[in-house]
Amino acid sequence: MTFPVGLWTAINSLQGTLTNPMQAPRAYEQLTEDVSGFEPANGGVGADEISAAIGEFSALTAGRAWCRFGAYLSRPDAIAVMRGIIVA
């Protein structure tokens, strides 16, 4: 899972009613978290909405030439983008 710094900070700052850190579900704990400064912090339709990507990033192939960098998905169904995440 990859998401912008602001969303990562908000998720990892969540607290329960006794100010204990929130525990993520087991399915989420099995994911690898990658924080990216390249994802827009306001990537939704409305104000203050964030987007995040989840999937199998081994399907992402990156190539580099002398003056150009490109990437493509070998399996487009391997990655999903979640849009409209609002951090309260």
Torsion, Cα of 75, 77, 83, 88 (10° steps): -100
Sheet holding 2-4, edge to edge: 34-36, 2-4, 49-55, 79-86
- Burial (Cβ within 10 Å: 0-12, 13-18, ≥19) of residue 7: buried
SS3 content of the chain, % helix, strand, coil (to 5): 20, 40, 40
Across the strands, what pairs with 3? 35
Res 3: pLDDT: 82
Give per-residue pLDDT as tens, 23-42: 888 888 888 888 877 766 66
pTM above 0.85, yes or no: no
User: pLDDT tens digit string along 56-85?
Assistant: 877 877 776 666 677 777 888 888 888 877
Does the pLDDT value for residue 44 go beyond 70? no
